[in-house]
């Protein structure tokens, strides 16, 4: 057994141990405990869990790889995501924690939207839950593929055994999510977030301390004879790069697996500390990822870009700079990143079905124990479906996996404007919310289909703007909210600081 494999085994043992711990500690709890941690999560765990569930293996592989290959224009994605993270924590987190509590203690985002407007008709809640279930199943499949890819790249013994690598990765996530629920997911995300940050910071620090980067190598000739100049100034990017990059930040306001973290924190007053931790984490992580891309351009740029392996720059650095065991721990951070996203999406998909479809429609009088075990069964079913999607070699599966690239934009355009207005505009109505969700989603899809390739502008930007306009216009046309709805707003905004 190599030192790298030992590091992986120790890491996997840690996350499985966390799942078992929370299973025995909370096995008598109900759906609120399983899906939302009983609203008892501390500020550090909330912050690290939100950021780890947000950033998949893309942060360590895809993001630095795209900068390495395409230049600093891609830095604007990181800038947009950083600004979105900051705005989400400052403006949304505390208010959503208070509003979800005031709205009949809602534990899922669809449930919050229904309760926030005291709606008797569960149509919006059901539609949202179905959308969540479908897209998050696809999201989980994507994370399974990412995890499998990393295992194949860093564990030579699995070469040529793609199904086995996929099964190992999926099984570990299924076990601790099935057993421990939200608390297990959050605590594993806490450790995974720490691993990601340490791994990202370690590489540029070691390179800058013990090596002497030759900045002239940022300009070099490619194999076809053309000269590829890597401009280190992100402000020399195209306007499409800047608008699309900033547009990525809009997605945060509609991301269920991130917003649910805000709803789970123990006290609204803890949000300030969580926000500080989360903002520092995201700024350090993106700065380190950008530094890895620039340094990777110097040391491996021509070799990796010509071979189409630019996303492996982190793996190359970890393997070359550190002893095998330390390298194994650093490479485990990539697996951690994929796992921290998959587990959150798996739990949100399960909670969307259980709390928003199963209980209100099929079993209104279901006991807490019944809902808890149905949730665990749905975790298994979603994971199994995601496994077969991820393991499929067909063209249909490939098309489904490609949809994941646009799901961020779809969620952000459909739900982001409605969430913001529900928290800050007293005049928002239920019909306005429906119009915002539908309008944002439709424009997002139409732009993606007809104009995205032609304009180079990310579809979330026009989708978000149109969703916002639809919600405002329909709310103004609609009759004013009832006293019951206004009381919910007053209770949430007038809550005493806890």
The three-state secondary structure class of 29 is: coil
| Residue 293 scores a pLDDT above 70 | yes
Residue 471 vs residues 136, 227, 275, 435: alpha-carbon distances, Å: 25, 49, 28, 5
Q: Which contacts qualify for 399-408: CB closer than 8 Å, 24 or more apart?
A: 400/138, 400/141, 401/138, 401/141, 401/142, 401/145, 403/135, 403/138, 404/138, 404/139, 404/141, 404/142, 406/444, 406/448, 406/459, 407/135, 407/138, 407/139, 408/248, 408/251, 408/255, 408/460
Averaged pLDDT, 40-55? 76
Q: What is the pLDDT, as a whole number, of residue 189?
A: 76
Q: Work out how many domains the chain is built from and give that number.
A: 1
Domain-embedded: residue 164: yes
pLDDT digits (tens, 9 = 90+) for 27-46: 555 555 655 555 667 788 88
Rounded distance, CA 127 to CA 437, Å?
10
CB atoms within 10 A of CB 362: 9
Phi, psi of 258 (to 5 degrees): -95, -45
Considering only residues 429 and 335, tell me which one the structure prediction assigns the higher pLDDT: 429
pLDDT interval class at 401 (50, 70, 90): very low
| Residue 234 scores a pLDDT above 50 | yes
Domain-embedded: residue 417: no
Domain-embedded: residue 354: yes
Task: Quote the Cα angle for 86-87-88, to 5°.
Answer: 90
Mean pLDDT of the chain: 81
Location of structure tokens 């019944």: 370
Rounded distance, CA 221 to CA 39, Å?
56
Domain-embedded: residue 157: yes
Rounded distance, CA 222 to CA 455, Å?
28
Rounded distance, CA 80 to CA 243, Å?
9
Please name the residues in contact with 448: beta carbons below 8 A apart, sequence gap of 6 or more. 406, 409, 459
pLDDT interval class at 302 (50, 70, 90): confident
Considering only residues 406 and 117, tell me which one the structure prediction assigns the higher pLDDT: 117
Which of 22-26, 70-74, 329-333, 467-471 bottoms out in mean pLDDT, i.e. has the lowest? 22-26
Rounded distance, CA 221 to CA 442, Å?
44
- What is the rounded end-to-end Cα distance, in angstroms, of the chain? 52
Rounded distance, CA 280 to CA 450, Å?
38
Residue 261 vs residues 23, 236, 257: alpha-carbon distances, Å: 20, 36, 7
DSSP secondary structure letters along 247-292:
HHHHGGGG-HHHHHHHHHBS-GGGHHHHHHHHHHHHHHHHHHHHHH
CB atoms within 10 A of CB 171: 13
Domain-embedded: residue 389: yes
Domain-embedded: residue 350: yes
Rounded distance, CA 170 to CA 172, Å?
6
Percent of the chain with pLDDT over 90: 23
pLDDT interval class at 171 (50, 70, 90): confident
Domain-embedded: residue 311: yes
Rounded distance, CA 194 to CA 287, Å?
16
Q: Which two tokens stand for residue 199?
A: 């791994």
Phi, psi of 41 (to 5 degrees): -80, 140
Which residues, listed in sequence order, are joined to residue 265 by a DSSP beta bridge? 41
Considering only residues 131 and 401, tell me which one the structure prediction assigns the higher pLDDT: 131
Averaged pLDDT, 286-294? 92
CATH, residue 78: 1.20.1730.10
Q: Give which of 74, 62, 489 is closest to 312, Cα–Cα.
A: 62
**277 burial type by CB count under 10 A (0-12 exposed, 13-18 middle, 19+ buried):** buried
Domain hosting 79: range is 3-394
| Residue 57 scores a pLDDT above 80 | no
Domain-embedded: residue 437: no
């Amino acid at each position: 057994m190599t030192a790298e494999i030992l590091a992986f085994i120790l890491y996997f043992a840690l996350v499985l141990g966390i799942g078992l711990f929370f299973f025995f500690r909370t096995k008598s709890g109900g759906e609120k405990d399983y899906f939302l941690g009983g609203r008892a999560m501390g500020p550090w765990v909330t912050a690290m869990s939100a950021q780890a569930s947000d950033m998949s293996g893309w942060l360590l592989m895809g993001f630095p790889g795209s900068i390495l290959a395409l230049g600093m224009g891609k830095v604007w994605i990181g800038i947009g995501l950083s600004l979105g993270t900051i705005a989400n924590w400052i403006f949304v987190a505390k208010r959503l924690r208070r509003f979800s509590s005031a709205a009949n203690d809602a534990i899922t985002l669809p449930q919050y939207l229904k309760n926030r407007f005291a709606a008797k008709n569960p149509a919006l809640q059901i539609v949202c839950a179905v959308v969540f279930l479908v897209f998050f199943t696809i999201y989980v499949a994507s994370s399974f593929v990412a995890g499998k890819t990393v295992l194949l790249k860093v564990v030579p013994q699995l070469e040529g055994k793609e199904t086995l690598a996929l099964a190992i990765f999926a099984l570990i996530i299924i076990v601790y999510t099935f057993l421990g629920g939200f608390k297990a997911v959050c605590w594993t995300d806490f450790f995974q977030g720490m691993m990601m940050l340490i791994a990202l910071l370690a590489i540029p620090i070691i390179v800058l301390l013990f090596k002497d980067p030759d900045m002239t190598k940022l300009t070099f000739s490619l194999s076809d004879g053309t000269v590829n100049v890597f401009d280190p100034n992100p402000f020399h990017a195209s306007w499409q790069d800047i608008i699309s990059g900033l547009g990525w930040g809009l997605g945060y306001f509609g991301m269920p697996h991130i917003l649910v973290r805000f709803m789970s924190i123990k006290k609204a007053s803890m949000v300030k500390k969580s926000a500080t931790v989360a903002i520092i984490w995201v700024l350090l992580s993106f700065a380190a990822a950008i530094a890895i891309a620039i340094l990777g351009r110097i040391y491996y740029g021509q070799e990796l870009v010509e071979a189409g392996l630019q996303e492996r720059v982190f793996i190359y650095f970890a393997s070359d700079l550190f002893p095998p065991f330390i390298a194994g721990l650093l490479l485990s951070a990539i697996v951690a990143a994929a796992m921290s996203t998959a587990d959150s999406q798996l739990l949100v998909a399960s909670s969307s079905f259980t709390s928003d479809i199963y209980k209100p429609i099929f079993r209104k009088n279901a006991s807490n124990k019944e809902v808890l075990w149905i949730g665990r069964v749905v975790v298994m079913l979603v994971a199994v479906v995601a496994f077969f999607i991820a393991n499929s070699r067909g063209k249909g599966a490939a098309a489904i996996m490609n949809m994941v690239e646009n799901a961020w934009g779809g969620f952000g355009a459909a739900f982001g404007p409605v969430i913001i207005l529900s928290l800050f505009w007293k005049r928002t109505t239920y019909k306005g919310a429906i119009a915002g969700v539908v309008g944002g989603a439709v424009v997002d899809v139409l732009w993606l289909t007809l104009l995205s390739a032609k304009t180079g502008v990310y579809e979330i930007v026009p989708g978000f703007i149109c969703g916002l306009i639809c919600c405002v216009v329909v709310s103004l046309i609609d009759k004013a909210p009832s006293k019951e709805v206004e009381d919910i707003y007053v209770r949430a905004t007038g809550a005493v600081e806890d």
